[in-house]
A and B are shown apart, each in its own frame.
Chain A
């Protein structure tokens, strides 16, 4: 296990480096600069701005500057939000995305696994059909339809919950975004869980267990659940990063100050340092959680040996 982790880190570092390198140069190649605006600035003012952010230096030198700061954990100043550094922006927005994401994730796992198992156990019954239809809706309806619909119903008509805002993370403000976000993933997890549960229940070792006359509940929870969870785990690993790093759609509709908006707006504003910083964070998380999935896999299924 220890060598496995070391090996992973050994691979992750060059991967991250290439990620940073590519993002840095790709971003700079995009037309427009952080300082193009509605009206043209006199050249001397533009020059002052570029000097302040080192943009007047050759690209490789800018990259060197960036790397040097990065090694100190400094993601640089934001080009767009002049009063903040990228570290501060991330520190402000990350907790929001993580809170919403973690809750949505929790909800997804409980609901998805529960519903999927239920559907599998009652295969081809009305429960199965209801669950599957519901989860299909989650897969086919874009979230920019679901989310405003929720606002319309729960905030404007019924006036139960706020239509947007974060409000220091009060629970009322979290209900709708968490629900809107989870719907997508619950649907997917339920579907995967269902088919993998059906398959497990039909496998030989479960048949044997049944033949032995073990109680149904015992079979499901002690024997079937673990192997049936494997595909869910390998789906949720990478999805987890997507969930906690937020969704632009949900954040835009509910006016949440999370990472998703920063990422898209940063790219559109050519806020080089903000986008690079977020790319590095999201990239590292992706690498991290792919590794976590591999480890979890090994824990759940002893047949798979980690590190092979």
Chain B
């Protein structure tokens, strides 16, 4: 349920960002991006988060090479063993004797992928849907918004469970399932933004010069929506990662022997009294990463929306 929380919050905050961003867009033109970058770089928390996030990413990519174990190998002699340098299990092992150091990093890959892909799907569908509704307007807009309303009144757990029973459990489908239930807010935001852009001169000029609707949407509208999309996406990623962990709680997450932070944390949570390391390491990684994403998201929003400070 945490995802709803995060998403709704994102929606609220980014809504304001959009308005301010579009005002800026008009006045300052190109210099906005340079401005934004300067402002972002002066935000210490965001920059520090950026550095940490890069470090985590590098560790996730190259870390497993530093271990003698693979993510699915069972060490029969060291089952549920605490962290130790001698055995080579830096983070200890899980109940099946699999190395938690490698598994945590491996889980990180999946979590990052789920986060990025989920956000991507949501952003792509949301942007296209929203800009189309906003641009085409009238009856079609009405219809599209009604459809959105219906989808929004669906309890999203219902949709997710159904999708999982229909399509089984490949990681790709989990991305799509998660992305597909979280594009609704994005679509709304983009639609509102498109409506205001539509009345701007450059779009009117394009319409008069006979450009087709598709051309206008893809050439003129979407590029100008990029700012808000970036902000929204950066805040969507942590929401996605958290949502994946919720799916893991229900046992509907990534297929074994693959793992994710959500799955590891969930497993750790069931045995925290007897094997605290199984909870501590994956949770630290999860929490640190989510912290970073949130700070970066805040930083981006502030950078694109100077009014806030």
Contacts and interface: CB of A to CB of B under 8 A. Distances in A.
Interface of A: 11, 15-16, 18-19, 22-23, 26-27, 29-32, 136-137, 139-145, 148-149, 152, 184-185, 187-188, 191-192, 195, 198-199, 202, 231, 234-235, 238-239, 242, 245, 247-249, 263-264, 267-268, 275, 278-279, 282-284, 286-287, 290
Contacts, number: 140
B12 A139 contact: no
B2 A143 contact: yes
B6 A139 contact: yes
A192 B2 CA distance: 15
A30 B5 contact: no
A209 B4 CA distance: 37
B287 interface: yes
Given A15-B149, A23-B158, A278-B155, A145 B9 contact: no
Given A140-B291, A142-B242, A142-B265, A192 B5 contact: no
Nearest to A252: B249
A26 B167 CA distance: 13
A140 B287 contact: yes
A59 to B, nearest CB: 16
Q: 9 shortest A-B CB distances, which residue pairs?
A: A140-B290, A283-B153, A267-B161, A286-B153, A282-B155, A30-B165, A231-B12, A188-B9, A188-B5
A264 B2 contact: no
Contacts of B2: 139, 142-143, 184
B158 A145 contact: no
Interface residues of B, number: 47
Interface in B162-221: 162, 165-166
A48 to B, nearest CB: 26
Given A30-B166, A184-B5, A286-B152, A136 B291 contact: yes
A242 B153 CA distance: 11
A187 B6 CA distance: 10
8 contacts: A23-B158, A140-B290, A143-B2, A195-B13, A231-B12, A248-B1, A248-B157, A278-B155
A152 B271 CA distance: 11
Contacts of A248: 1, 157, 250
B8 interface: yes
A235 B12 contact: yes
A279 B150 contact: no
B90 interface: no
Contacts of A278: 155
B8 A264 contact: no
A142 B294 contact: no
Nearest to B8: A235
Q: Is the interface of A mostly helix, strand, loop or mixed?
A: helix
Contacts of B307: 199, 202
Contact of A234 (B5, B12, B238, B249): B12
A234 B13 CA distance: 11
B28 interface: no
B157 A264 contact: yes
Nearest to B293: A140
A137 B246 CA distance: 16
B245 interface: yes
A268 B160 CA distance: 11
Contacts of B152: 286, 290
Contacts of B265: 142, 144-145
Contact of B158 (A187, A195, A267): A267
B105 interface: no
A45 to B, nearest CB: 25
B273 interface: yes
A259 to B, nearest CB: 10
B9 A191 contact: yes
Contacts of A279: 154-155, 158
Contacts of A245: 155
Interface in B10-39: 12-13, 15-16
Given A31-B165, A242-B4, A148 B294 contact: no
Contacts of B283: 141, 145
